[in-house]
Structure 1
Amino acid sequence: MTTSAVDFLTSRTRTLSLALSVVVMATGGGAATLSGVTSNAGDVVPGMVQRTEIRIAPEVGGRLLNVAVHSGQRIRKGDLLATLDSPELAAALGQAKAAAASAKADRDHVYVGVRMEEVAIAEQSVKTAEANLLLAQQQNTRAAALAAKGSGSRQLVDDTTAQLGKAQADLDLKRAQLAAASAGPTKEELALADAKVAAAQAAVDEAQIALDKTMLKAPVDATVLIQVAELGEALSPGKPVLTIEPDGERWIAFTLREDALGDMAVGKTVTLRANDGRSIGARISELRPLGEFATWRAARAVGDHDLNTFWVRLDPLAGDQDLEPGMTIWLPVVVDGGSR
């Protein structure tokens, strides 16, 4: 290759500039297209003001019943934005409440214990069993006496002895029943009743939380951007209803070739320039490579090499928030050790 050809390639390489068009997804959802200018594009690189968008979507399914806000409206954290209609969740809550009421009634019954009327019946049963035992004892005594005189059979003695044992067992059972009725519920029975009530109340709380999710509320102070869903539309979980822009969430994005980064680093403060000439203070909050697709490919000149392209996010300082999405902002750069 001749010397003039090499000079031509070198000159051509030096005049190459990288212009990238990159789709950047803003934190929370917003997307925009940025044009980045690198080395030989001048002493400043253009960037674009972006905004963070939050998509308001339900966590449960339902039909969109009402939208309480409109585009451009200022909202505060906790404000009601939209309401869904979900008969299934409402029915589940009603069922859970009914089960909780039943569990509480059962617990109250256990705590009250046996009614006085039932205790009185148990006492009367004990008296009856005592009378039966006394009669069985008398019959057994007479049968034994007759048998000893030879006037009665041994079979009669056996029968009355069996009746006596049965009467004694019945009396023991009735006395145990009376003691249980008089003592009331055990600690274990009370604990079990309380546990059933707690489980039923937890089911009510869970159903109530699910139903509350049909009311979409603002997570932060923000401005309403657009309404995505229409009234009456059936929505599945995660399908957006609205988009909002949080307060103070505007930032500026640039794409820079690595030879234009200079001493930029996350946390460093830089001065930008707006189209109207005013200066804007901003702090670098993110600096990352865009990837292989954005690599600037060097020509085949001697000593040349590929250069990566970086995506840079800058957050305006407190006093420089008067920016609108889509505005062009300019960033001074230094390329190859010299100011361009």
Structure 2
Amino acid sequence: MTRLRTLALLLALPLGLTACSAETNTTLHGYAEGDFIRIAPQQPGQLIDTAAREGDRVIEGDELFRQDATAEIAALASATARIDAATARYDDALAGARDPEIEAARDLLRQALAAQNDAAHSLERSQALFADGHISQARLDTVRAAATAADARVDEMRQRLNIVRLPARADQLRALQAEIAGAEANRDAALYRLEQRTTRAPVDARIHRQLRFGGEQAGPSAPVYDLLPDDAVHAVIFIPEPALASLPVGTRLRVSCDACPTGLEVTIATIDDEAEFTPPILYSDNERARLVYRAEARFASDPPPPGTPLFLEPAQ
């Protein structure tokens, strides 16, 4: 009986050691992943110059590349010329008639005043002659009518001079103002299109990969750079199903890798709801065919380069 008990204990010992080993093996596997930004121009066109190279650091607003802008420069010049023309028409309408037209109206008024003066003298003489009986009533009436017509002519010419001095009607001025506003809007649109031929860095980042070079065609579906923004590297972790309950969101993990500084930690930020089989990149004799949950974690500082394999353990 004692021999059987001893044999049973010896047979159970390897199983117990295996179980203990499985329980103490808390190392998780993962890798560093970058949140890359793919930089492409809004409109297609030929690249004239690329200002950055792979590995370069760029600051937000730095020029990355320029495209041929011949058509956009011409469109801006045309739009600016239309503004100048519309503004000149408005200024002309606001100023009223041109100087020669005003001077012609003044000449007509001077002629009317001279005729009025002659008619007034003629009426004065005719009234004296009529009083002495030298002319008839009909003759006096004719002279008086001529004087009245001369007065009316003066009033007409004076009004004409005032009119030519006036600016254009209010509705005409509003139409010209609208024309100027439309030309300015076209100018702004042309300037925007010209500015879009130069692409700048949207954030502080490092040039991870250059996809196209000067002389090549670039466009919305033909990007030029892949950028890795600062602090845009996170850890992708695969949590075995049995360990899921002990590693909730917010858990801190120690990280070790060839490029990791001592004491580097990550904090679990998200965990997928559905399990998956261990990805092929993590296959090993112990890892394959296990169900794992994909999680993402934030580095506390100094993240390693994207693609770096990671080994992680719960922080004490």
CA distance in 2, matches of 1:58, 1:101: 32
Distance (Å, rounded) in 1 between the aligned partners of 2:163 and 2:292: 85
Give, in angstroms, the shift of residue 119 of structure 1. 1.7
CA contact (8 A) 1:63 1:86 kept: no
Deviation at 1:64, TM superposition (A): 0.7
Superposition TM-score, scaled by structure 1 size: 0.63
- Distance in 1 separating the partners of 2:43 and 2:233: 30
Whole-angstrom CA distance in 2 between matches of 1:173 and 1:258: 103
1:172-200 Cα deviation digits (max 9, x unpaired): 87665433222334554444433322321
Alignment match, 1:196: 179
Mapped contact 1:77–1:218 kept (Cα < 8 A): yes
Superposed counterparts of 1:1-340, under 5 Å: 42-125=25-108, 177-266=160-249, 268-275=250-257, 278-289=262-273, 294=276, 310-318=293-301, 321-332=302-313
Separation (CA, whole Å) in 2 of partners of 1:285 and 1:199: 52
> SS of 2:90's equivalent?
helix
C-alpha deviation, 1:228, in angstroms: 0.6
Q: Which has the higher strand share?
A: 1
Q: Give the aligned CA root-mean-square deviation in angstroms.
A: 4.3
Structure 1 portions without partners, runs of 5+: 1-38, 135-144, 147-166, 297-306, 334-340
Aligned length: 267
TM score, norm. by length of structure 2: 0.67
Distance 2:214 2:274 in 1: 40
Contact 2:255 2:266 in 1 (8 A): no
- Cα drift, residue 258 of structure 1: 4.8
Q: The residue matched to 2:177 in structure 1 has which SS? A: helix
AA matched with 1:273: V
Rounded Cα–Cα distance in structure 2 between residues aligned with 1:117 and 1:42: 102
After superposition, give the CA deviation of every residue in 1:275-333 in whole Å (9 maximum; x if it has no partner): 46944322233333358xx379xxxxxxxxxx985431111013xx1412222222347
Indicate how the Cα distance of structure 1 residues 261 and 195 shifts in structure 2: closer, same or farther if over 3 A, else same.
same
How many angstroms does 1:84 deviate by?
A: 0.5
Does the aligned pair in 2 maintain the 1:61–1:86 contact within 8 Å?
A: no
